[in-house]
Chains A and B, each alone.
Chain A
């Protein structure tokens, strides 16, 4: 009996090896990456695996455009598969990539993982495609730059354009006797004054991690420019460097000055926003995707007219300009090389041409500069001003670090940041842990 058992186990083990191997050998690209493939347009169903709100502007606009396209091409349909929760989405997309089952279109940020896919020839060169479709010049340079990998190559197409502001409550500022900060270094004093007047200085959604990580990016972006994080993530720069250390000290001082609400790390998105819109918090750092909720008549009258915004403050000797800050164009859409054919190309040509106009009517900023955003009826004057601000944006972008670092370092950074701001660890401990983490994971991820 025993020998049968052993043999069965051996067979099972061998089968598992074969399956694992077949899974990872699927990486070889079947297609050539040709941006203008030859052949007939044969309508069929194509899928877009995306991570955007189910009833949001992008999906609504693309659905409408797909319906228009299907009218002229019977048999065509666009299957939009959305997973709005970003961590779940990333899991799904990465396992699909591992199984070599990526659909025609899929969303991704310019992450190290995406770079590997691009290097393997599994994604269509978006710059070449957009140029070939004669659409490249319509796009805002900042919107495209946000999607680029560090080497400047472009594999993702943007569908949004956002500006991230510090929204603030003018009445609460007046009460506390503080001015809009000129420099990031003014933040601790601002927070202390606001605290003293009995309000929460800054509303922060600590639960989703990325909002606090933005604060990590601000200081080095001003003192060292966008290159700092690109070097840091490879291990070529360190937190122990003067620019890094200054940033860590700055964050630590924000924590000491009580900038964020006690218990911020378990405050969710909606709660943080409610703190600000109910007049309990004085500052709220969020992008223009919330314009419809912040610059609207629907807000409580006591707060509505006091809301204003400022952009990322400078530092003394800043190397980036005042009009350069976090201006993301959202998660980008990549085109799978394996399934790229005349139909996909033709649909994209139609959809990308039509998209800006349809999308702008929803009141959102288009990633292109050739359309005008429709201002909603119930908007406050702030809406118009924020929209106009988009045209004056500079070239350099303060990239969100969560799309820059390798995932393991990023997770650790998010955890340690919370501890740093809560005062659980010292700046020195933070620097030591993070430099060691990046040294272990960074170089390997970007080799």
Chain B
């Protein structure tokens, strides 16, 4: 990959194209990460002077903070639900869409609609959907199909709230990922598929042997995108439940944000940030490893 696609190019030309993006990126992304790493070794409330505490913040995070671990496992649950909805949903819908004869453009446009609505509005919408008093949409639907017994305040129950806050986030961007995957599926040569079908391959075989390998590069990118967006998920849990009831829907990001901006504990918040960065790096590493290995197999 490090070899040039051009027969000739100068070192200067590489720098001309590379320096401006790196500069912007370095200032706004890399530098703050370094600053966070630096701050994670300090105790700082923003107004009094920094106090060096060594690894105290890390010790506190791993040993002395039950909320941190709750938030961590919630984040993983949130990730799982978002991935199932966004990637699973997107792939299914994109595949179905390929076989649709008419109205594809309309469908694509309509699927993307939730993504343009601001999270504030989405949060309130889902508050209404989940609500018990006044009876929300979900509980109304349950009543219509005769399942009154299942009616409950979905956002107040510690057992259901995590799923309840994950679903809007998953739902919101399904259309986006669907579009990306759909574009990749379109590029799959029809002749190959047709040939396979004529050879007697069923739908599933066509999918796994031809379509999926063809879209694998896009699939990896999409998986990384969806995972990292889910791991940095914030708005909807924050607006919908603010992590509650208790810490049942607290994510690492909302916990970090609260620690920084509500508790003004910037040092400890930076420590959580560093953890999130490491966690995300590991997650992406795993994704690449797993998907690449499958490709080799």
Contact = CB atoms under 8 A, between A and B. Distances in A.
- Are chains A and B touching directly in their complex (CB below 8 angstroms)? yes
Interface of A: 12-13, 15-17, 19-21, 24-25, 27, 87, 90-91, 94-95, 97-98, 113, 116-117, 120, 200, 206-207, 209, 261-268, 271, 275, 280, 406-408, 411-412, 414-416, 418-419, 422, 424-425
B246 A424 contact: yes
B50 interface: yes
A407 B262 contact: yes
Contact of A424 (B49, B241, B245): B245
Given A16-B35, A20-B39, A407 B156 contact: no
Candidate in B45, B127, B264 with the most chain A CB atoms within 10 angstroms: B264
A408 B265 contact: yes
B186 to A, nearest CB: 41
Contact of A415 (B30, B246, B264, B265): B246
Chain A contact residues, majority secondary structure: helix
Contact of B131 (A87, A266, A412, A424): A266
A94 B38 contact: no
B133 interface: yes
B78 interface: no
B132 A415 contact: no
A16 B132 contact: no
B134 interface: yes
A116 B153 contact: no
30 contacts: A12-B34, A13-B34, A15-B31, A24-B44, A27-B49, A95-B46, A98-B264, A98-B266, A116-B48, A117-B47, A120-B48, A206-B156, A263-B131, A263-B133, A263-B153, A263-B155, A263-B156, A265-B153, A265-B245, A266-B155, A266-B241, A268-B127, A275-B133, A407-B262, A408-B263, A415-B243, A415-B246, A416-B246, A424-B158, A424-B246
Contact of B45 (A116, A268, A415, A416): A116
Interface of B: 26, 30-31, 34-35, 38-39, 44-50, 67, 127, 130-134, 152-156, 158, 240-247, 258-259, 261-266
B34 A16 contact: yes
B252 to A, nearest CB: 15
Nearest to A111: B264
B32 to A, nearest CB: 8
B247 A415 contact: yes
B263 to A, nearest CB: 4
A70 to B, nearest CB: 33
Contacts of A266: 127, 130-131, 153-156, 240-241
Q: Do most interface residues of chain B lie in helix, strand or loop, or is the interface mixed?
A: loop
B82 to A, nearest CB: 21
Contacts, number: 128
Contacts of A209: 242
A407 B263 contact: yes
A207 B243 CA distance: 11
Given A87-B262, A263-B131, 20 more contacts: A12-B30, A13-B34, A16-B38, A24-B46, A24-B47, A94-B46, A94-B264, A95-B261, A113-B264, A209-B242, A262-B153, A265-B155, A265-B244, A265-B245, A266-B240, A268-B127, A275-B133, A407-B264, A415-B243, A418-B245
Nearest to B164: A266
Contacts of A419: 158, 245-246
A24 B50 contact: yes
A264 B156 contact: yes
A17 B261 contact: no
A262 B243 contact: no
Contacts of B245: 265, 415, 418-419, 422, 424
A116 to B, nearest CB: 6
Interface-centre pick from B34, B44, B49 (highest chain A CB count, 10 A): B34
Contacts of A97: 46-47
A25 B49 contact: yes
A16 B34 CA distance: 7
B256 to A, nearest CB: 13
A164 to B, nearest CB: 22
Nearest to B65: A440
Nearest to A19: B35
Contacts of A425: 246
Given A21-B50, A91-B261, A120-B47, A262 B34 contact: no
A411 B35 CA distance: 26
B133 A262 contact: yes
A333 to B, nearest CB: 19
Chain B CB count within 10 A is highest, among A94, A117, A200, A424, for: A94
A17 B130 contact: no
Nearest to A116: B47
B158 A411 contact: no
A279 to B, nearest CB: 14
Contact of A418 (B31, B46, B244): B244
A419 B261 CA distance: 24
In this complex, the member of B46, B48, B262 whose beta carbon has the largest number of chain A beta carbons within 10 angstroms is B46
Contacts of B153: 262-263, 265-266
Nearest to A26: B47
A199 to B, nearest CB: 12
A12 B241 CA distance: 39
Nearest to B258: A411
A175 B178 CA distance: 56
Contacts of B152: 262-263
Contacts of A120: 47-48
The 9 closest A-B pairs by CB, nearest first: A263-B153, A98-B46, A266-B155, A91-B261, A16-B35, A263-B156, A263-B132, A419-B246, A408-B263
